[in-house]
A and B are shown apart, each in its own frame.
Chain A
Amino acid sequence: MAARKGWVVGLLALPAVVFFLVFNYLPMAGLVVAFKEFDVNLGIFDSPWNGLENFTYFLESGDAARILFNTLFLNVLFLGATLAAGIILAIMLNEIRSTFFKRASQSVVFFPYFVSPVVISIILQVLLAGASGGGGAVNDALSGFGFPAVDWYTEPGPWPWILTVVKIWQLGGYLSVIFLAAITGIPEEVYEAGMIDGASRAQMAWRITLPLLKPTAAVLLVLGVGRIFYGDFGTIYAIIGDNGTLFDNTDVIDTYVFRALRQLGDFGTTAAIGLFQSVVGFILVVIAVLIQRKYSKETSIL
């Protein structure tokens, strides 16, 4: 292809190039706010510098350790739990012989992926709070078994686990579709060989399917690690909102930054936290990609 013609095609990418420039690369330059005493009237570039003050302010505020821990802890929990759930669900779906039941159940478990976090938040309220505050389906079940009811929305302790269940519910079906596609790609002869050797269905799942799903899981893991410092802000904030009693266990970098931005209007500090988040996230993803590349070259994502 002649170079001149190449440029004509290149025009098709122009809108995207402009989009990335404005909405991704310009904000990167905007990160200088992290080193400034930001004044809305002066704008990003005319506001006075204040060195590392924004960073030290955040680190000395006492919130830093808590939200960093929460971010890492929750995201590791989410990533591990959703991947495991996706794999288990895919293997179980693969065992189902009735095509109709298999398709129908796949459609149903996939569905939560398509609803807004706000809807998920309302479903959770129905289950945990009920219409009159103290109730809720979960409490009804608890009292049915003779346990005392829990006032979930004032009790921070169980929330990391509640959120993990929510993430499994939201993403388990979606991930199972990916893993089921990978299982379909496993050659039938492998299973036939297993059958000749007298392997049970359970043994085949454990010794054949599971190991062969490793590359797919590795790719998803690497992609997940890259986002480990971001988490799914929309979901957590839709569920927790400004309920301060739960912050001890649920406040993550994104929700903290959002509140600081909207309520305090503290641009400098929040930009500093954002910069910190991006840098650590970047380092993590590079490490993850390098490790993954070392172990399986062909499934590497870069």
Chain B
Amino acid sequence: MSTRKLEPFTVVSVIGVSLAVLACAVPFWMIISGSFTSETQLATTGYSFFPDFDFTAYKMIFTGPAVLNAYLASLFITFVGTALSLAVTSGLSWVIARRIPGISRPLTIYSYLPMLFSGGLVPLYLLVTQYLHLQNSYFAVILPLLVMPFLVFVQVSAFRQLPESIFESAKIDGAGELRIFFTIALPLSKPILAVVGLFYAVHYWNDWFMALLFIDDVHKFPLPLVLQNLISNISFTAMLPQLAEAATPVYQLRLALTTVAIGPILLAYPFAQRYFVKGITLGATKG
């Protein structure tokens, strides 16, 4: 392919992809550079691509407990949620992947049926608030999101790619089914566990809907909910410490908080991205 001549279609493609790249990157750059632009300049000259390094908003964020608490809340939801989700998903996927007569097939149907038909928002809301009494608990955010069917697909197909012969020989050596799972299958599946774990982690880190539904206590808000409140309700800035010299820089503050919220994803992304691609392609071919 290396000797082919440059055709118009290739040129069009390069331009098209470049435009797509710009469309995806520029908004983030605007947010980040805007977060370093002073409120007065934002109001007069608008957003600029080259910031003037004004740190007012970041000072406000990092001197008060509100954002720190939100960060801790999001971290708790993400870590505990991901660990629980991984454990539950792995167990389920292993049993499905083993094709055990009389168990695997019904279990598959049982697990995929909720994808097709669900009770909807109201029964879930009643369940969590009236029966489980989980309002204002982070488990109200974690538990409804515990299993993502797409990731079960991914794990099942990954488990099925492990060589059966290893399990056979382990069995001959006297290993039980549980032992095979914990000491052979799981260690061999570390890459796929990383994939699935990353998907869950992003899912939990970004969730705001479950938090919106079930967390009413402002002091327990995870990061996305603090952001959302800052959009819809300027008075939320009252929770942040006031700086003596000026009025609250509402817009700059929004942008700074947004930057803080995407920060961890932005930092982890270069390392995590190849795993995501692997996960999607595994899920797509089998899904």
Interface set of A (CB-CB < 8 Å, partner B): 1, 3, 5-17, 19-20, 22-31, 33, 40, 43-44, 88-89, 91-97, 101, 104-112, 114-119, 121-123, 125-127, 130-132, 135, 137, 140, 169, 172-174, 177-178, 181-182, 200-202, 205, 216, 219, 223, 226, 233-234, 237-238, 241-242, 254, 257-258, 261-262, 267, 270-271, 274-275, 277-278, 281-282, 285-286, 301
Contact = CB atoms under 8 A, between A and B. Distances in A.
Contacts of A275: 120
B21 A122 contact: no
B100 A10 contact: yes
A14 B117 contact: no
Top 8 A-B pairs, shortest CB-CB distance: A274-B120, A27-B119, A30-B123, A16-B92, A27-B123, A95-B13, A116-B206, A24-B114
B10 A201 contact: yes
A110 B276 contact: yes
B46 A110 contact: no
Nearest to A12: B91
B269 A111 contact: yes
Interface of B: 1-2, 4, 7-10, 12-14, 16-18, 20-21, 23-25, 27-28, 30-31, 34, 39, 42-43, 46-47, 87-92, 94-96, 98, 100-103, 107, 110-111, 113-127, 130, 143-144, 146-147, 176-178, 181, 202, 205-209, 213, 224-225, 227-228, 231-232, 251, 254-255, 258, 261-262, 265, 269-270, 273, 276-277, 280-281, 284-285, 287
B147 A119 contact: no
B7 A202 contact: yes
22 contacts: A12-B90, A12-B95, A12-B181, A13-B96, A14-B91, A17-B107, A19-B143, A27-B123, A28-B118, A30-B126, A89-B16, A97-B1, A104-B21, A107-B269, A115-B265, A123-B27, A123-B31, A131-B47, A177-B277, A223-B287, A234-B209, A301-B287
A261 B122 contact: yes
